[in-house]
Amino acid sequence: MIHQDKTITCKDCGQEFVFTASEQDFFEEKGFTNEPQRCKACRDIQKNNRNGGRGQREMFDAVCASCGKSCKVPFQPREDRPVYCSDCFSNQR
């Protein structure tokens, strides 16, 4: 199928953007059935929002297994696994 450029309105910012023929070819090749709903800038914002738009990430108190310093981590610590502060974690790598 031969595609032509298509103008779409971004559902987030309301700006119009062009869904190019080559982008449409790519979508078809990958089996995507829905057209994009956001412009590139709004898609980038979505991608960079690692928390999926849920607001502030819940942090948990922990004690570093290496230096003993109190720290906060973005996961529920378990008794059977060591937890490291960001400094010690960086040094582990």
Q: Could you identify the residue written with the tokens 């981590």?
A: 73
Segments making up each domain of the chain, as ranges:
6-48, 60-92
| Residue-level pLDDT at 33 | 93
Note the pTM of the prediction, 2 decimals: 0.50
Question: C-alpha 58: how far from its chain's center?
Answer: 16
| Residue-level pLDDT at 47 | 79
β-strands 16-19, 60-63 pairing: unpaired
Distance between CA atoms of residues 53 and 86, nearest Å:
24
pLDDT tens for the chain, residues 1 to 93: 789 999 999 999 999 999 999 999 999 999 999 999 999 999 888 877 755 555 567 889 999 999 999 999 888 999 899 999 989 988 876
Task: Say which residues have a Cβ less than 8 Å from residue 28's Cβ, sequence separation at least 6.
Answer: 1, 3
